[in-house]
C-alpha cells in the first residue's frame, strides 16, 4: 500500500525528533509503537543513571507555516488536548520542520492552564507554539526542568491529582487544605480557582447520585460557600444540568450560591440562561430565589406567606407541609418535586 504524503511527513518528523533527542546524552528516548496521544517517551538521565522522570512527546510534522509575533499557530484535535488535561506526566507538543530538521515545542498542560480552552465544544483548537522554543536547545534546560518537576505548573498538576484523591476519599478537610495550597501557589488566584471548579465539577458529575458521591457532595457545598462569586454561568450549567433534567446536588449547590452571594447571582441572569432548557423547573427555581433575593432558603420554606406562583408553575397549598418536612433531607431540590401547573 502506498504511503500518503501526511504519513511520510509524520514519519520524517518522528525520526527527526528521535534523532535530536538521542543526540543529547541527558535523555533516553523511546518510540511509542501504538499512538495513544504520544509518539515518544523520554526519560531524564543524571550522571548516567536513569531518574524515573519522564516527559511524553507528541510530534507533528510541518512544511508550510507562518511565524507571526514569534508564534506558530497550529490546529490540533481536542481529544488530544483533553487527554493532556487528565495526564499527570508532562506532555510536550513538538512541531518539526522536516525541511530544516528543527523543532519548536510547547508544554501542553501549562498552555491549557494559562489559556482556558473548551475542548468539548469543537473537534479542534488552535494552539500557539513560540518560535523561540527550540526543541534541541530546550532538551538542555527548559524540558529538563519540566521533567524534574522544577516548576509551578507541575506543582499545580500534582496538587490537582491530590485534590482528586481527596475528593474520591471524601476527605473534606484535606480537600480544603489542598485548595488553599493551590490558590496560594497560583500566580493568578482567580484563574486557579476556576481550574479547581472545573476539575471539581468533572469529578462530581461522575459521582453525584451514587452513595459514595452523595457523601462527597459536602466538598462542593463548602466550595460554593467560600468561592461562590468565582462560579461562571458555564460552571453553574455544568453543575446543575443533566441532559434534559437536573442534578439534585447541583440544585442544592445553586441554592447555597443564592444564599451566600445573592447580588452576584442576580447579576449573571440565570433565568435567561436556563430559559432555553427543557426542564422549566430550573428556570423557575432561579426566578423564585430572585423574587425573594437575600433571604436564605432555610427560612423561606418555613414561611406561611410565601407566594410560590411564578408564571404557570406553583406549589399547591396542600403540598406545602410535605415540602417543609422533606426539605431537611433533600434541600432546595425539594421544591422542584412539588411544582405543578397552576389551575385556572
pLDDT one-digit tens code per residue, 102-139: 999 999 999 988 887 777 778 999 999 999 999 999 99
136 and 160 part of one domain? no
Tell me the chain's radius of gyration from C-alpha atoms: 25
Contact present, 59 and 94 (Cβ < 8 Å): yes
Query: Tens of pLDDT along 30-52?
Result: 998 765 678 999 999 988 899 99
- Look at residue 327 and tell me if it is in a domain: no
- Look at residue 195 and tell me if it is in a domain: yes
Contact present, 37 and 21 (Cβ < 8 Å): no
- Look at residue 323 and tell me if it is in a domain: no
Mean of the per-residue pLDDT values for the chain? 87
- pLDDT at 235 (0 to 100): 87
Q: Helices 172-185 and 211-227: crossing angle, nearest 10°?
A: 40
* pLDDT band (50, 70, 90) for residue 233: very high
The CA-CA-CA angle for residues 146, 88, 105, to 5°, reads: 40
Cell numbers given for 150: 522544577
208 and 253 part of one domain? yes
Cell numbers given for 280: 422549566
- Look at residue 51 and tell me if it is in a domain: yes
Contact present, 57 and 136 (Cβ < 8 Å): no
Q: Is the pLDDT of residue 319 over 60?
A: yes
**Rounded Cα distance, 249 and 47, in Å:** 53
Beginning with the edge strand found earlier in the chain, give each strand of the sheet holding 124-130 in spatial order. Answer: 67-68, 71-77, 124-130
Domain boundary at 150, 179, 196, which?
150
Q: How many domains does the chain have?
A: 2
Q: Is the pLDDT of residue 336 over 80?
A: yes
Q: Is the pLDDT of residue 192 over 70?
A: no
- Look at residue 313 and tell me if it is in a domain: no
- pLDDT at 117 (0 to 100): 74
73 and 121 part of one domain? yes
The domain spanning residue 77 has which CATH number? 3.40.1350.10
Q: Are strands 313-315 and 91-97 parallel, antiparallel or unpaired?
A: unpaired
145 and 165 part of one domain? no
- Mean pLDDT across 311-334: 88
Domain that holds residue 140: 5-150
Q: Is the pLDDT of residue 187 over 60?
A: no
Cell numbers given for 334: 425539594
* pLDDT band (50, 70, 90) for residue 209: low
User: Pick the residue with more confidence: 204 or 90?
Assistant: 90
Domain boundary at 150, 172, 199, which?
150
The total of other beta-carbon atoms located within 10 Å of residue 13's CB is: 23
15 and 57 part of one domain? yes
Amino acid at each position: 500500500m502506498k504511503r500518503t504524503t501526511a504519513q511520510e511527513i509524520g514519519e520524517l518528523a518522528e525520526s527527526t525528533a528521535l534523532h535530536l533527542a538521542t543526540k543529547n546524552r541527558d535523555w533516553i528516548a523511546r518510540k511509542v509503537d501504538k499512538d495513544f496521544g504520544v509518539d515518544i517517551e523520554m526519560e531524564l538521565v543524571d550522571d548516567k543513571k536513569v531518574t524515573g522522570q519522564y516527559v511524553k512527546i507528541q510530534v507533528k510534522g510541518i512544511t508550510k507555516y507562518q511565524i507571526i509575533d514569534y508564534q506558530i499557530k497550529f490546529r490540533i484535535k481536542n481529544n488530544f488536548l483533553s487527554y493532556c488535561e487528565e495526564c499527570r506526566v508532562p506532555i510536550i507538543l513538538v512541531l518539526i520542520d522536516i525541511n530544516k530538521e528543527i523543532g519548536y515545542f510547547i508544554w501542553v498542560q501549562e498552555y491549557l492552564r494559562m489559556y482556558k480552552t473548551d475542548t468539548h465544544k469543537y473537534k479542534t483548537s488552535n494552539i500557539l507554539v513560540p518560535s523561540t522554543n527550540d526543541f534541541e536547545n530546550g532538551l538542555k534546560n527548559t524540558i529538563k526542568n519540566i521533567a524534574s518537576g522544577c516548576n509551578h505548573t507541575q506543582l499545580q498538576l500534582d496538587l490537582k491529582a491530590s485534590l482528586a484523591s481527596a475528593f474520591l476519599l471524601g476527605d473534606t478537610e484535606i480537600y480544603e487544605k489542598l485548595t488553599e495550597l493551590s490558590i496560594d501557589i497560583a500566580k493568578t488566584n482567580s484563574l486557579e480557582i476556576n481550574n479547581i471548579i472545573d476539575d471539581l465539577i468533572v469529578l462530581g458529575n461522575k459521582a453525584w447520585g451514587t452513595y459514595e458521591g452523595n457523601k462527597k457532595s459536602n466538598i462542593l457545598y463548602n466550595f460554593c460557600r467560600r468561592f461562590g462569586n468565582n462560579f461562571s454561568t458555564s460552571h453553574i450549567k455544568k453543575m446543575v444540568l443533566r441532559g434534559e433534567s437536573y442534578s439534585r446536588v447541583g440544585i442544592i449547590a445553586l441554592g447555597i450560591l443564592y444564599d451566600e452571594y445573592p447580588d452576584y447571582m442576580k447579576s449573571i441572569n440565570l433565568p435567561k440562561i436556563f430559559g432555553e432548557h427543557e426542564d422549566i423547573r430550573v428556570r423557575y427555581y432561579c426566578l423564585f430565589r430572585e423574587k425573594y433575593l437575600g433571604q436564605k432558603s432555610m427560612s423561606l420554606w418555613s414561611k406561611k406567606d410565601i407566594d410560590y406562583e411564578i408564571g404557570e408553575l406553583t406549589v399547591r397549598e396542600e403540598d406545602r407541609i410535605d415540602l417543609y418536612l422533606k426539605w431537611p433531607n433533600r434541600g432546595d431540590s425539594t421544591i422542584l418535586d412539588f411544582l405543578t401547573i397552576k389551575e385556572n
